[in-house]
Amino acid sequence: MRATFSADGEVLVVTGGASGIGAAAARAYAEAGGTPVVLDVAPSDELAAAGIEQHGVDVADRDAVFAAFAAIAERHGRVDGLIAGAAVQPRTPVAEMDPAEWRHTLAVNLDGVVWAVQAALPHLRAQASGSIVVFASGLAHMGRAEASAYAASKGALIAFAKSLAAEVIEDRVRVNVLFPGVIDTPQFQAANPGDERAHWLRTTGIGEPEDVAGPLLFLLSEAATMTGSTLSRDRAFAADAGEDA
């Protein structure tokens, strides 16, 4: 992807960035001249080969998240942005969901964002600048059978991000929510096997992780002057979706 925004000298932390949208964002940020650092429970060989720094971190573990941010700040001297993208997406009917699965989903999808934000804020506030991007989902509004835990966590994140934006606006830290849309990530494929993936392809169109990198770079840049806002690619077709129609 051709870099449109410059991130020269800046440091971005991406949670859940070893694959999918997070990995695409990390690569685009590096192309824009910045230093992406990925926190993921399973680091990527592909990103390692590209020279992108990674830390093996379970975002549900608050102490591990804080330790990673401390190491990043010590090494690079700053943190300029956070993409909170780590998430799990189980498919289980409510009547069959056990407490462990429910708690694990919220621990990763919701608690993990809170811990990353808490770890990032001291650095962003000290610089009186920076951007936090939280991923939401259209399922937070429309719901989906067997996706209650995931949808609930994304709905909570919207409220969390908007409240956070009000808290840190005087610190010149921006917080915005991104609806990426239907993107063909490993997580999406696992949650939508076979005919379900074909249904999304017919009815909505499925984007690639790289399609989200541009909106993310915009939200991280000073060109995005808003805070407490939502930027939606949700249910959006790719720009070239109709070329073969």
Task: Return d(Cα 230, Cα 182) in angstroms, integer.
Answer: 16
Pairing of strands 230-232, 174-179: parallel
State the catalytic residues.
150
pLDDT of residue 188: 66
Q: Using CA atoms, how far apart are residues 76 and 117, in angstroms rounded to an integer?
A: 18
Supply 31's token pair: 């192309």
Give all strands of the β-sheet with 230-232 in edge-to-edge order: 53-56, 35-40, 11-15, 81-84, 131-135, 174-179, 230-232
User: Cα(19)–Cα(39) distance, rounded to whole angstroms?
Assistant: 11
pLDDT for res 34: 96
DSSP 8-state secondary structure symbol assigned to residue 242:
T
For the stretch 127-185, pLDDT in tens is 999 999 999 887 767 777 677 888 999 999 999 999 999 999 999 999 999 988 776 66
Q: Mean pLDDT in the chain?
A: 87
The Cα–Cα gap between 193 and 210 comes to: 21
- Ordered structural domains, the chain, with CATH: 11-225 (3.40.50.720)
**pLDDT cut 70: percent of the chain above it:** 84
Residue entry with tokens 């001297």: 77
pLDDT of residue 184: 63
How far apart CA 162 and CA 176 sit, in angstroms, is 7
221, 5 contact by CB (below 8 A):
yes
What does the pLDDT read at residue 181? 74
Output the pLDDT for position 143.
Answer: 72
Low pLDDT (below 70) residues in the chain:
1-4, 140, 145, 183-186, 188-205, 234-245
